[in-house]
């Protein structure tokens, strides 16, 4: 019974993400850069017109490297449309609040 409730919730979440906007989102983490480049290429080859690459903290440099590698080596007509930087307040396990930098890089094909 608990499994039945979990499955529809996951399906609704993925459906909302795909029908809500005409953009793909790649969240950058600790994996190698080529994994994220491949994810971006998959979105672009699927016909997604706008791709958003998001990262926080130490992963910001990996996000920038991903976009530059994608733009210079794989997709020559890729254009950077927008770069948004910001700060999020995160509560740690001990209850301390810290600030974490964020970046969102929006790219499109020409």
In a domain, 26, yes or no: yes
In this prediction, residue 102 has a pLDDT band, given cuts at 50, 70 and 90, of very high
Structural domains in the chain (count): 1
Show the 3-state SS of 43-60. HHHCCCCEEEEEEEHHHH
In a domain, 63, yes or no: yes
Sign of CA dihedral 37, 81, 57, 102: negative
Q: By C-alpha distance, which of 83, 100, 80, 81 is closest to 92?
A: 100
pTM, to two decimals:
0.77
Inter-CA distances, 8 with 16, 18, 20, 21, Å: 12, 15, 17, 21
For position 46, which CATH number holds?
A: 3.30.110.20
In a domain, 12, yes or no: no
pLDDT over 70 (residue 98): yes
In a domain, 99, yes or no: yes
**Domain with 90 in it:** 21-109
């Amino acid at each position: 019974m608990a499994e039945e409730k979990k499955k529809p919730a996951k399906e609704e979440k993925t459906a909302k993400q795909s029908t809500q906007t005409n953009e793909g989102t790649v969240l950058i983490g600790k994996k190698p850069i080529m994994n994220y480049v491949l994810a971006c290429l998959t979105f672009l080859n699927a016909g997604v017109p706008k791709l958003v690459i998001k990262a926080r903290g130490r992963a910001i440099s990996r996000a920038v490297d991903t976009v530059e590698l994608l733009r210079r080596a794989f997709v020559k007509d890729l254009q950077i449309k927008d770069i948004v930087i910001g700060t999020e307040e995160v509560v740690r396990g001990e209850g301390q609040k810290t600030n974490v930098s964020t970046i969102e890089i929006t790219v499109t094909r020409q």
